[in-house]
Chains A and B, each alone.
Chain A
Amino acid sequence: MKKQGSDIREISSKVKETAMNLGITKVLVYRGRKALRDIDNNSKRAISLSEELLMKLLDENKDTEYGKRYDFAHIGSISEYKEKVPLSVYDDYEPYIKRMVEDDEKNLLTVRPPKHYALSSGSVGVPKHIPVSEEELDIYSKYGTGLCFGVIDKYYRNTTGRSVKPGFGLNLIELKFQDTKHGVPKGAISGNIMKQVKDITKYILTSPWDVINPQGDMDLKYLRARFALEREDVTFLVGAFMTALVDTVDYIRANWEMLCKDIYHGRIDSSIKIPDEQRKVFEQLLCPSPERARKLVKEFRKGFDGILTRIWPDLQFVAGIGTGGFFTYSKKMRRYTGKNIPYNNLTYAASEGLFAAARHAGDTSYVLLPEGGFYEFIPANADDDSTTLTIDQLEEGEEYEIVVTNLSGFYRYRIKDVIRVTGFYNEAPMLQFIYRKSQMLSIQGEKTNEESVRWSIEQFMKDTKLVINDYSVYADTDSEPGHYVFLMEPDTKVPEEKIAGYRDVIEAKMMQANPSYGDKIRTGVLSPMELIFLQNETYQAYRDLMIRKGTSPNQLKPVRVIDTPIKKKFFFTLRERY
């Protein structure tokens, strides 16, 4: 009788899980469709919405300390706003933010109280605290998480006539934050949003809540892989960046035998780092699944090309930023998913706001969201960087530094990102992130940006057929004249005798990508480039070390420019041996 009772409870729990999963999927799709409609409608009147938003923000905040200082009350147009309010950087807000964080002072920058502080790396090691209002969080919730399901639903309805199937998602976005002494959460914004739906994550994500929101140090790579692999009904994979997704599949590739043994026996290997109490909690969630383990072993033994659709036959999409400098990771992920799974590049966002979103599956350009802030643009090549343009003045193909007035108390704020306008979606510009102004290489005024380097590497890979896992560039000014050092981690060791030829290829590509660099090489103003191949797993070792030292995986971006002595020592030490 006991056995029968337990069986009934198990069936009842399974029925509830299935029903909840179906219901949540429907809600996500509904919210996603609504977000899509809003993008479409708002993009049709992006110019007027933009101005209306600015005027609303100025009116709301005219009695704040910042508003009084710059006389918001008497600003009646965009041109007056530009005249009266200066362009700003974080340091301009730092004294106000310090008073907000430490003394809980109100009405300094905005009447909208901060509901969160996003932490971003500061220039001198003290993290920047970026205030985030409730309205800003709503934008993140709507476009950062909700929109994705609308985009994928549209993709499947267009291609198969059916909507998104219900199922579970492997989530790699880490929820890691603490509170200020006045009880305001601080950390990654995505964590705050996830926390709001804590009670339902178990019906839509593969990881238990204690893996999504880990207390104490534990082996999250194992746990995420373990809980996802034991299910066959995984339909989506989501991470902040494509790097995290690739790292997870690489982890599975290296450890599938242990993972399968554990799934077979319904246990967690004793070598896996988990606090004892937590281990007991996780083990109660597991039961032996010999049949699933056997299936997995069979598929893993066939190799890892296209593995994800073989172990998860209902896999429907991959979501994570894989554009621009992440392209090597997107290529690698393609090998794991096969070519038929749509990718969603999510959003173009920073701690200071969510500015644009991918409107279609596979889009590498993002549609600017006029309700996310008021935007101005400084032409990237302008000598005068105090003159800004508005969205109605932008031209397709041109590059601009983006300046934002956000929903959380930053006014005419230079986030130092340069974007390219790739077209227009109705009135709203579509844009691609090109480079961080602080990440530009310029030894002799040649101004090589991240995009030029990315293009050169992409062309290099095409010409040489080498697979490059990751890459960085260093501007060496110790020698005269200075020169660039390209560092690349190939998939397999490159024979020494081929290095000189490969150097010539990447040099030629770089000269083509940045004609100013080419001129300086031809005239001897710069010395020829140096090419260094790195040992396999160097970039993974760097990420492992950064995580060990406390960096959130959500904030680990590729190292494109070697711009600190610490990075230089790390990467130059791990060059391939010959």
Chain B
Amino acid sequence: MSAENEGFQISHEKEGNRLKVSLKGEINVDTSREFDAFINDNLEGVKELEFDLKEVDFVSSAGLRVFLNAQNIMDEQGSMVIRNMSEDVKEVFDMTGFSDVMNIE
């Protein structure tokens, strides 16, 4: 794992059918694999999905695809919201148009 990936962490809290996922570090082409696997393994039965990106300082193209995958899943089974983006990360979502298809607060 490169230095850029060392600090990447996923933590989550589940209460009933509500899942809060807190991410830390960079969501780049390498760490997005772990993130994607987490999404694929943990959304069963979830009706409310919340991402907290307070400690995320970078989201790459591959990372955007994982958020879109999560949004596609949640469209069928509930709702999804992304919170606490830094200005830099929010800019990536806005400039690419991904914020048009996701609920960002």
Chain A interface residues (CB < 8 Å from chain B): 217, 219, 254-255, 258, 269-275, 534-538, 540-541, 544-545, 548-549, 566, 569-570, 572-574, 577
Contact partner of B40 (CB less than 8 A), chosen from A269, A541, A573, is: A269
Are the CB atoms of B96 and A574 closer together than 8 Å?
Answer: yes
Question: Which of B13-21, B64-72, B79-87 touches A?
Answer: B64-72
Are the CB atoms of A569 and B68 closer together than 8 Å?
Answer: no
Are the CB atoms of B65 and A577 closer together than 8 Å?
Answer: no
- Jot down 10 A-B pairs with beta carbons below 8 A, ordered by A: A258-B40, A272-B73, A273-B73, A273-B76, A535-B60, A541-B61, A549-B101, A570-B97, A574-B61, A574-B96
Contact partner of B62 (CB less than 8 A), chosen from A270, A537, A549, is: A537
Are the CB atoms of B61 and A536 closer together than 8 Å?
Answer: yes
CA A270 – CA B60 in complex, angstroms?
26
Are the CB atoms of B33 and A217 closer together than 8 Å?
Answer: no
The 8 closest A-B pairs by CB, nearest first: A270-B44, A573-B95, A538-B61, A537-B62, A271-B40, A541-B61, A535-B61, A536-B29
Smallest Cβ distance from B76 to chain A, in angstroms?
5
Smallest Cβ distance from A48 to chain B, in angstroms?
52
* 14 additional contacts (CB under 8 A) given A545-B68, A572-B95: A217-B75, A219-B72, A270-B44, A270-B45, A273-B76, A275-B76, A536-B61, A537-B29, A541-B96, A548-B68, A548-B101, A570-B97, A573-B91, A573-B95
CA A333 – CA B82 in complex, angstroms?
36
Chain A residues, Cβ within 8 Å of B72: 217, 219, 273, 548
Are the CB atoms of B76 and A254 closer together than 8 Å?
Answer: no
Chain A residues, Cβ within 8 Å of B45: 270
Chain A residues, Cβ within 8 Å of B64: 541
Contact partner of B75 (CB less than 8 A), chosen from A273, A534, A545, A574, is: A273
Q: Does B58 belong to the interface (CB within 8 Å)?
A: yes
Contact partner of B29 (CB less than 8 A), chosen from A217, A273, A275, A535, is: A535
CA A540 – CA B69 in complex, angstroms?
12
Chain A residues, Cβ within 8 Å of B73: 219, 271-273
Are the CB atoms of B65 and A569 closer together than 8 Å?
Answer: no
Known: A545-B98, A548-B68. A271 touches B92 (CB 8 A): no
Chain B residues, Cβ within 8 Å of A275: 76
Contact partner of A537 (CB less than 8 A), chosen from B39, B42, B61, B101, is: B61
Q: Does B55 belong to the interface (CB within 8 Å)?
A: no
Chain B residues, Cβ within 8 Å of A540: 61, 65
Contact partner of B68 (CB less than 8 A), chosen from A270, A271, A544, A574, is: A544
Q: Does B104 belong to the interface (CB within 8 Å)?
A: no
Chain B residues, Cβ within 8 Å of A577: 58
CA A16 – CA B92 in complex, angstroms?
54
CA A272 – CA B61 in complex, angstroms?
21
Chain B residues, Cβ within 8 Å of A572: 95
Known: A273-B72, A273-B73. A254 touches B96 (CB 8 A): no
Chain B residues, Cβ within 8 Å of A574: 60-61, 92, 96
Are the CB atoms of A271 and B97 closer together than 8 Å?
Answer: no
User: Across the two chains, which residue of chain A brings its CB closest to B74?
Assistant: A273
**Which B27-54 residues sit within 8 Å CB-CB of chain A?**
28-29, 33, 36, 39-45
Chain B residues, Cβ within 8 Å of A273: 72-73, 75-76
Smallest Cβ distance from A272 to chain B, in angstroms?
8
Are the CB atoms of A566 and B97 closer together than 8 Å?
Answer: yes
CA A545 – CA B98 in complex, angstroms?
7
Contact partner of B96 (CB less than 8 A), chosen from A269, A274, A536, A573, is: A573
Smallest Cβ distance from B11 to chain A, in angstroms?
19
Chain A residues, Cβ within 8 Å of B68: 541, 544-545, 548
Chain B residues, Cβ within 8 Å of A274: 76
Are the CB atoms of A254 and B36 closer together than 8 Å?
Answer: yes
A217, A537, A569, most chain B CB atoms within 10 A: A537
Chain A residues, Cβ within 8 Å of B29: 535-537
Are the CB atoms of A534 and B61 closer together than 8 Å?
Answer: yes
Smallest Cβ distance from A559 to chain B, in angstroms?
13
CA A271 – CA B61 in complex, angstroms?
21
Chain A residues, Cβ within 8 Å of B95: 569-570, 572-573
User: Across the two chains, which residue of chain A brings its CB closest to B70?
Assistant: A271
User: Across the two chains, which residue of chain B brings its CB closest to A538?
Assistant: B61
Are the CB atoms of B92 and A573 closer together than 8 Å?
Answer: yes
Chain A residues, Cβ within 8 Å of B101: 545, 548-549
CA A499 – CA B101 in complex, angstroms?
34
A219, A275, A534, A573, most chain B CB atoms within 10 A: A573
Chain A residues, Cβ within 8 Å of B71: 548
Are the CB atoms of A217 and B76 closer together than 8 Å?
Answer: yes
User: Across the two chains, which residue of chain B brings its CB closest to A216?
Assistant: B76
CA A117 – CA B42 in complex, angstroms?
43
Chain A residues, Cβ within 8 Å of B58: 577
Chain B residues, Cβ within 8 Å of A536: 29, 60-62
CA A271 – CA B97 in complex, angstroms?
25
Are the CB atoms of A541 and B39 closer together than 8 Å?
Answer: no
Are the CB atoms of B97 and A541 closer together than 8 Å?
Answer: no
Smallest Cβ distance from B63 to chain A, in angstroms?
9
CA A566 – CA B29 in complex, angstroms?
23
Smallest Cβ distance from A268 to chain B, in angstroms?
12
CA A358 – CA B73 in complex, angstroms?
40
Chain B residues, Cβ within 8 Å of A541: 61-62, 64-65, 68, 96
Are the CB atoms of A537 and B96 closer together than 8 Å?
Answer: no
User: Across the two chains, which residue of chain B brings its CB closest to A274?
Assistant: B76
Chain B residues, Cβ within 8 Å of A534: 61
CA A337 – CA B101 in complex, angstroms?
35
Chain A residues, Cβ within 8 Å of B98: 545
User: Across the two chains, which residue of chain A brings its CB closest to B26?
Assistant: A577
Are the CB atoms of B96 and A545 closer together than 8 Å?
Answer: yes
Smallest Cβ distance from B10 to chain A, in angstroms?
15
CA A536 – CA B33 in complex, angstroms?
13
Chain A residues, Cβ within 8 Å of B60: 535-537, 574
Smallest Cβ distance from B12 to chain A, in angstroms?
14
User: Across the two chains, which residue of chain B brings its CB closest to A576?
Assistant: B60
User: Across the two chains, which residue of chain B brings its CB closest to A271?
Assistant: B40
CA A302 – CA B41 in complex, angstroms?
25
User: Across the two chains, which residue of chain B brings its CB closest to A549?
Assistant: B101
Chain A residues, Cβ within 8 Å of B33: 254
User: Across the two chains, which residue of chain B brings its CB closest to A543?
Assistant: B65
